[in-house]
Amino acid sequence: MDLGLSGKVAVITGGSIGIGFAVAEALAREGVHCALCARNEERVKKAAKTLEERYSVRAIGVRADVTRPEDIDAFVEEIRKTFGGADILINNAGTGSAEKIMDAPDERWQYYWGLHVMAAVRMSRKIIPFMIERGGGVIINTASICARQPLDYEPIYNVTKAALVMFSKCLANEVIKYNIRVNCVNPGLIRTPDWDKTAQIVSREKGMTPEEYLDRIAKDNAPIGRFATPEELAHFYVFLCSPLASYCVGSTYYVDGGWLKCTI
């Protein structure tokens, strides 16, 4: 099936590993050129090179910490110089947290607010003018099932991801007049390196292997009984980026194997 994406340019934050790289690879497979950013320069440049070699697209990898406005500015300038603009923005950079509300200092709240919310705000403000010049575009924000169904050990993550969902809705209403579609994806259990790292630590405390720990997490939470791969999730992003999803505007989609325990 031709998804009508060949020749488009996608910008993906947190694009060197996990969900971000899986989405980049899935888009590159459709002929989409990619601009990736991440904090690890070596890894993000290697990711871009991999896309070019495997899929014969143009790709750049730029070191950027998206909590820093000056890094965003530098990244966007590289996008402008290399591609002249962009058609797709995936605001994906983020990570889990671990704290209690009564213990976490203001600085920790501010850091995750900058990472999960303000980075998406700033990237969107910078990339939307390119999209307007090109006659439209697509923005997808990666939030989390925790935006609706919180986990007790990471309240800051829960709160900032919930804010990202509302930002997505507000932005969608504001820019649809420019033929720019904004949506949000709330993943559930996706087997990323962060989960593998957690499993290595927690499994030792529980006297089980990392695989046994992850299997228990999946069976205790997701009716499907397993984690998804980042590649499985990426297929859905590609559909949302394509003209086939032309009536998908301002929505939040759960890709969670049935984990969400409510319907509204």
pLDDT in tens, 207-261: 999 999 999 999 999 999 999 999 999 999 999 999 999 999 999 999 999 999 9
Whether the pTM exceeds 0.95: the reply is yes
Summarised one tens digit per residue, pLDDT across range 137-179 is: 999 999 999 999 999 999 999 999 999 999 999 999 999 999 9
Enclosing H/E stretch for 110:
helix 106-113
- Indicate left, alpha or beta for 128 from its phi (over 0: left) and psi (-120 to 50: alpha): alpha
153 noted as active-site residue: no
Give the 3-state secondary structure of residue 244: helix
Given a contact cutoff of 8 angstroms between Cβ atoms, the answer to whether 233 and 255 are in contact is yes
Looking at 3.90.1300.10, 3.40.50.720, 3.50.50.60, 3.40.50.620, the CATH number of the domain 9-190+228-255 comes to 3.40.50.720
pLDDT tier at 262, thresholds 50, 70, 90: confident
Structural domain spans, the chain: 9-190+228-255, 191-227
Read out DSSP for 50-99? HHHHHH---EEEEE--TTSHHHHHHHHHHHHHHHSS-SEEEE--------
* Catalytic-labelled residue, pool 55, 111, 153, 157: 157
- CA 255, 189, 232, 44 dihedral sign is positive
Q: Are 112 and 120 in contact (CB under 8 A)?
A: no
